[in-house]
């Protein structure tokens, strides 16, 4: 086990066509980081050259092989100072003459390894090929280090591969833009994988593009250990590999709780073809006709009596229906109570489940609620879906916490249902801690993911605001819910996500239920969050399309799902391993 050490995230504004000036500037910042005690120093994406290149011809004078003259200059510093440095630069492969957007890890002995950006942003195809080196974790005297480049981290699979590889730290070099930083995606990738993230972002304006700055170091528990806002600067913080090796989320052994045997669909790309055609192929389960519809989430504190809970659910459902809701989602254990799930567990033919189904029939809308289920001597943490036709189906939670295992058996199947206006997938509570879960539902064509929850641990974080001036309407001011894990889950899967959490502040349940939109970079945000003195929130979603035969709405088009690179993801579905 490596000892704790100091890391540095370097923020820098490179200038296009001034490679030597950029290298000198980066070397000076590296020396400053060394003087500050840093042993791992991370610099931004394309920091040696700038980023916004028109084409191969324009960047050609500035590309280099790795190893090469630029890496030799940083290697000299690494050797003299006994440090490791990550440098972002454009690389040429001499064997093919292909160019790559690359990050190279350099240590006292020279080049340790290279990562080529695997998931391109809109600009890379102008000059660079997609990376072909996969997602590796490098063993170093400092511990296990992985590298990702900017757009890579939009995809849950890349950081998960680093986590499965045992990475203590992900060095994320970026030219991030179009939002206030530290970006929620950065925070979520550290948090869901239980590792550190050293984020080196650029700042400034290049060819009219405003970059966001906000370089930082994020702890495995989502805490921002150090941050710089705008300007050339350095964020310093301590990395403790032992904390990352625990590999926990909310104290849960997250990697050991994965269910890779149920993730096989991660190796497919169901949105590579026109999804309208794909999902109706052979007449099997075509997507429902999309349209606008109002949906709601409701929160309350369920007690031990099913009849009382059902009365609360009826009151909230009636209020939501009055507001126009066609679907209402309630918290985990909403029907049977929080205290002792096994003692309160009920069968599907129980009066409380029948009463719930009858309520949906009476109101003529769809309802989702969590309950503890008993079946053939086993108990499950389950959710029930009912609608105008009565009982529709159930879902049994697939990912159990350590406490769950004392009373519940795990579910074995994902649950997807077609409503008149949308395809609906169900998750429960801890399931959403696993990014693979939402991804499988997205690949099955879900427009909406409903997630009844009873979450007490922190899943959100505020932002004090940034001095970096963004074009309207990108927000820059303070935001108490800048990071909300369930907003990230919606955006990364281009789904609407209906998160219904228990609201019982005295028992530690914060509520903060919400409906989150399928595009996290669309401002103002498409979302509604339950606020103070409210018990439900409603919003109109859209699953429709405008004319033609190809979906025009992102929830049906699923851009981020389409841009995945599944051929890199094999390890995600391999049998579970021990992760130290």
* Active site residue ranges: 45, 117, 150
Cis peptide before 473 (omega within 30 of 0): yes
The token pair at 558 is 């699923």
Q: Taking Cα atoms as reference points, which of 298, 274, 294 lies closest to residue 286?
A: 274
Distance CA 159, CA 172 (A): 10
Q: Cα 278 to chain center, whole Å? A: 26
Q: What angle do CA 59, 564, 458 make, to 5 degrees?
A: 110
Q: What angle do CA 527, 299, 504 make, to 5 degrees?
A: 120
Q: How far is CA 124 from CA 19, 84, 366, 554, in A?
A: 19, 27, 44, 22
3-state secondary structure 259-292: CHHHCHHHHCCCCCCCHHHHHCHHHCCCCCCCCE
Distance CA 162, CA 153 (A): 11
Distance CA 160, CA 158 (A): 5
Give the DSSP letter of residue 410: P
Q: At what angle do helices 485-492 and 435-443 cross, to 10 degrees?
A: 30
DSSP 64-101: B-SSSHHHHHHHHHHHHHT-EEEEEEEEEETTTTEEEE
Strands 423-426 and 448-453: parallel
The token pair at 550 is 């190809």
Distance CA 271, CA 444 (A): 9
């Amino acid at each position: 086990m490596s000892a704790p050490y100091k890391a540095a995230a370097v923020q820098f504004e490179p200038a296009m066509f001034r490679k030597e000036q950029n290298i000198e500037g980066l070397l000076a910042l590296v020396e400053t980081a060394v003087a500050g005690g840093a042993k791992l120093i991370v610099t931004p994406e394309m920091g040696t050259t700038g980023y916004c290149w028109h084409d191969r011809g324009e960047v050609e004078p500035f590309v280099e092989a790795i190893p090469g003259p630029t890496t030799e200059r940083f290697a000299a510093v690494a050797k003299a100072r006994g440090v490791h440095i990550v440098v972002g630069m454009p690389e040429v492969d001499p064997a093919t003459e292909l160019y790559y957007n690359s990050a190279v890890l350099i240590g006292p002995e020279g080049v340790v390894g290279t990562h080529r950006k695997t998931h391109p942003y809109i600009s890379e195809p102008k000059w660079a090929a997609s990376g072909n080196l996969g997602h590796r974790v490098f063993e170093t005297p400092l511990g296990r280090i992985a590298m990702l480049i900017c757009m890579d981290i939009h995809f849950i699979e890349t950081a998960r591969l680093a986590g499965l590889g045992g990475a203590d730290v992900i060095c994320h070099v970026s030219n991030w833009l179009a939002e206030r930083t530290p970006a929620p995606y950065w925070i979520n990738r550290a948090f869901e994988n239980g590792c550190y993230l050293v984020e080196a972002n650029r700042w400034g304006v290049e060819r009219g593009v405003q970059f966001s700055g906000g370089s930082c170091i994020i702890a495995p528990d989502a805490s921002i250990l150090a941050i710089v806002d705008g300007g050339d600067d350095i964020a310093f913080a301590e990395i403790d590999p032992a904390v990352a090796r625990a590999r926990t989320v909310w104290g849960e052994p997250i990697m050991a709780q994965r269910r890779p045997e149920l993730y096989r669909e991660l190796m497919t790309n169901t949105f590579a073809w026109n999804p309208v055609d794909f999902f109706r192929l052979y007449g099997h389960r075509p997507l429902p006709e999309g349209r606008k519809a109002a949906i709601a989430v409701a929160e309350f504190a369920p007690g031990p009596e099913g009849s009382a809970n059902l009365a609360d659910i009826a009151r909230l459902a009636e209020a939501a229906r009055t507001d126009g809701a066609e679907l209402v989602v309630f918290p985990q254990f909403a029907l049977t109570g929080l205290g002792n799930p096994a003692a309160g567990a009920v069968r599907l033919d129980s009066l409380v489940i029948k009463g719930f189904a009858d309520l949906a029939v009476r109101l003529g809308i769809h309802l989702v609620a969590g309950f503890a289920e008993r079946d053939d001597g086993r108990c499950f943490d389950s959710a029930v879906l009912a609608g105008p036709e009565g009982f529709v189906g159930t879902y049994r939670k697939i990912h159990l916490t350590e406490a769950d295992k004392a009373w519940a058996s795990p579910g074995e199947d994902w649950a997807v249902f077609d409503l008149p206006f949308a395809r609906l997938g169900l998750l429960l509570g801890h399931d959403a801690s696993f990014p693979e879960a939402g991804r499988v539902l997205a690949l099955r064509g879900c427009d909406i993911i409903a997630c009844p929850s009873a979450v007490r641990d922190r899943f959100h974080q505020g932002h004090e605001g940034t001095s970096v001036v963004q074009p309207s309407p990108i927000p820059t001011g303070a935001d108490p819910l800048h990071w909300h894990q369930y907003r990230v889950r919606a955006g990364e899967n281009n789904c609407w996500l209906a998160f219904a959490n228990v609201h019982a502040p005295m028992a530690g349940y914060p509520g903060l239920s919400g409906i989150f939109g399928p595009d996290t970079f669309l401002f103002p945000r498409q979302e509604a969050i339950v606020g103070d003195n409210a018990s439900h929130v409603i919003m109109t979603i859209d699953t429709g399309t405008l004319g033609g035969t190809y979906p025009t709405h992102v929830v049906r088009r699923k851009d981020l799902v389409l841009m995945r690179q599944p051929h890199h993801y094999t390890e995600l579905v391999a049998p579970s391993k021990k992760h130290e």
